[in-house]
Chains A and B, each alone.
Chain A
């Protein structure tokens, strides 16, 4: 067996591909994301680096400019600017464009766009104007409501199309963000050359979750 042999199997597995559609808490639980399954995450990485990945320098392939505006609002609701950068600031919208254009099947890409359109359409109904033109507080409430539907299943069955889309976005955003240099090094702890392995150290010596 090869390098990382164990890490590829179930008890180490995150999902078969982080770009796959996973929309529901149940699905996440089954895939091991919730209970006990995830650790030693495979070195999931992003292409984000420097200015190359900023929206200014990146030519979008999948999204038009209105969609990019909406995308930025959504990813920044998921990972906002605090004392560390926001998702948009580290280039997550470009990351998502590249995952969809370069690394996804046509079917996955189309499914994403169908859900994205449905999201924007529903928001327009709600706000009476385009999502990206709405009041920022209302944008955030709208996203939070859908997210809550996804992670806290209601008693009664509800239409999960939109909340599923938010979870898909959340997954892409989290992966894109924490594999970026700022996400990996400022929010998490990253060591390119850790040195000799120590099996057990006081948590304070590391201080934050390891990026890899």
Chain B
């Protein structure tokens, strides 16, 4: 691919895509494959697949003490450290330094992110789940938020389209609330998980299915099969999981119509009153501080839910004094994530002659069953579970009453099996859950910073009672011992599924985007990252961002080709 930035910039393209993560990569692929010369603006550095994964092949003993970052460095990652798993010596280069990228919190919000080509498609969890008709109808049925302007049948072909190219492994179950994807063969369940699956079916009529994830269980388009190292977050030298770097950007580059410009921080979009469209994208060069303006027929915002909203809010004009496309005052509102860190675990007797082989990079999934069919709860919507199992490892030697050669023996013998699950619950859209810009507090490039005022509310808290109890009940029902429950409320953002800040809807008065992800009154700007989500469902959202990006990009490319835009 052509990296723009060193030589003299070409300033005019057919399309500009802001952001190179999961959704931006798909926008770029579909636009270029439709014949559009496309510029991808990425605010961070370039990351070349394989070459720029510096820690991907390191063995445990090749990393500094415990893979922990040096203590003095922790001050740079105060917020990014909140997950507990993102900032390691082997992965810290993928995450922003909070000292460089400040934001304010009226209510705690964990905005966990990385700025580089590929964005969070490098570090994502890879769980890939379709939304269902129930999810697209939910707002209309119970009255929270606004109605989605699309239904399952609108997105279904695009799910299939992206799944075939991304490569999603999983097992078909024929459930209406969690439609099957176009699957590669599933990764296996452990013997204990199979027991749990059987028990859940018999005692509750509930389904436990194999992980549905963007890890290849067969080679695909020159990418390698997953070797179950479970080091995905470092970047995969085999290209065995989906990332922009391994999958969509190379495809876009193969058309000869892709230009990527790293170090390009989008300042704002320039609105042209005479055409009623956006005519330019203003950027700040991250390295030189220089401002430039690029022009195109269409613009795709794929900067992430929060950043895309920030760009709109900073794009002020006479026509849009409160931010581009913000006639409805909905830009930045309805921030959603999933609420999680709640569930149960227990130990299983038996199976001591069994073990598993490899480090499966994701856990099993229990699709939503609450408020499905005849089940009615005192809250709306529902939750699914991700879970796992395994035998206790060598750490148990610390607590065992042995030192010396006995300790080695204990460490070398795996302990009993444990099984556990954690719920991911739907979060309702709420106008007062919002981000806005602080124009007084500027970042080091002079851009206004974000202020978060987002919190979980009654429906989430009511749902959490079931999220915890059901987990314990299902684990207990299979005969597990030492069943314990946990509930760490955390804060929105911790799911790293932020969405909803420029929602799709039918009415320009109450939504930002139409059914093609097009800003209602600015027809050449499309937003297909998490910002567009009208409701959160309880499924991990990335697959939906991929499908909506591909769908909107094909629609937009058609408009360009017909000269309609």
Contact = CB atoms under 8 A, between A and B. Distances in A.
Given A174-B411, A194-B228, A209-B391, 18 more contacts: A2-B496, A4-B125, A9-B422, A9-B488, A39-B391, A44-B66, A187-B411, A191-B358, A192-B59, A194-B357, A196-B226, A196-B227, A198-B357, A205-B355, A206-B355, A209-B411, A210-B393, A211-B394
Interface string A18-40: 11000001001100011111111
Which of A44, A143, A197, A201 counts the most B-chain CB atoms under 10 A from its CB? A197
Contacts of B217: 196
A194 B488 contact: no
B354 A179 contact: no
Contacts of B84: 8, 13, 16
Contacts of A10: 341, 343, 345, 486, 488
A201 to B, nearest CB: 5
Contact of B354 (A2, A49, A201): A201
B225 A46 contact: no
A39 B389 contact: yes
| Ranked 3 nearest A-B pairs via Cβ | A11-B420, A3-B233, A8-B85
Contact of A209 (B188, B404, B413, B495): B413
Contacts of A45: 60-63, 66-67, 90
A198 B407 contact: no
Contacts of A195: 227-228, 357-358
Contacts of B481: 36
Nearest to A7: B85
Contacts of B497: 1
Contacts of A39: 388-393, 415, 417-418
Contacts of B346: 36
Nearest to A42: B85
A95 interface: yes
B254 to A, nearest CB: 27
Interface string A162-183: 0000010011001100111100
Contacts of A71: none
B398 A28 contact: yes
Contacts of A209: 391, 393-394, 411-414
B400 interface: yes
A38 B412 contact: no
Nearest to A192: B59
Interface stretch (B190-198, B374-382, B440-448, B544-552): B190-198
A8 B230 CA distance: 14
Nearest to A151: B401
A9 B359 contact: no
A136 interface: no
B64 A33 contact: no
A203 B353 contact: yes
Nearest to B413: A209
B152 interface: no
A197 B240 CA distance: 14
24 contacts: A3-B125, A5-B386, A7-B85, A9-B486, A11-B345, A17-B66, A37-B484, A38-B395, A41-B393, A46-B61, A46-B65, A78-B404, A143-B403, A152-B401, A167-B398, A174-B395, A174-B398, A174-B411, A178-B411, A179-B61, A184-B60, A187-B412, A209-B391, A209-B393
A174 B168 CA distance: 38
Interface stretch (A62-70, A97-105, A113-121, A127-135): A97-105
Contacts of B93: none
Interface string B177-217: 00000000001111101100000000000000000000001
Which of A1, A4, A192, A202 counts the most B-chain CB atoms under 10 A from its CB? A1
A137 interface: no
Contacts of A99: 65-66, 68
Contacts of B482: 35-36
Given A144-B403, A178-B394, A17 B68 contact: yes
Interface size class of chain A, counting residues whose CB lies under 8 Å from the partner chain: 35 or more
Interface string B444-481: 00000000000000000000000000000000000001
Given A18-B66, A40-B390, A6 B422 contact: yes
B450 to A, nearest CB: 20
Contacts of A8: 83-85
B60 A35 contact: no
B357 A205 contact: yes
A2 B83 contact: yes
Given A194-B228, A199-B356, A77 B403 contact: yes
B345 A40 contact: no
A51 interface: no
B212 to A, nearest CB: 14
Contact of B358 (A38, A188, A194): A194
Contact of A36 (B125, B191, B347, B358): B347
A82 B355 contact: no
Contact of A1 (B125, B389, B404): B125
Which of B62, B70, B358, B360 counts the most A-chain CB atoms under 10 A from its CB? B358
Nearest to B351: A200
Contacts of B415: 38-39
Contacts of B496: 1-2
B190 A102 contact: no
B60 A1 contact: no
Contacts of B363: 6
B274 interface: no
A194 B61 CA distance: 18
Contact of B495 (A1, A48, A147): A1
A212 to B, nearest CB: 6
Contacts of A5: 85, 125, 386
Given A47-B63, A199-B193, A200-B191, A33 B395 contact: yes
A79 to B, nearest CB: 6
Given A6-B387, A151-B401, A212 B85 contact: no
B66 to A, nearest CB: 6
B79 interface: no
Given A10-B341, A40-B388, A188-B394, A4 B85 contact: yes
A10 B85 CA distance: 12
Which of A2, A79, A193, A210 counts the most B-chain CB atoms under 10 A from its CB? A2
A82 B345 CA distance: 36
B231 interface: yes
Contact of A95 (B65, B403, B422): B65
B71 A104 contact: yes
B233 A4 contact: yes
Contact of A175 (B64, B66, B231, B414): B66
Contacts of A78: 403-404, 407
Contacts of B403: 77-79, 143-144, 147, 170
A211 B60 contact: yes
Contacts of B233: 2-4
Interface string A84-100: 10000000000100110
B107 interface: no
Given A19-B68, A44-B60, A209-B393, A6 B386 contact: yes
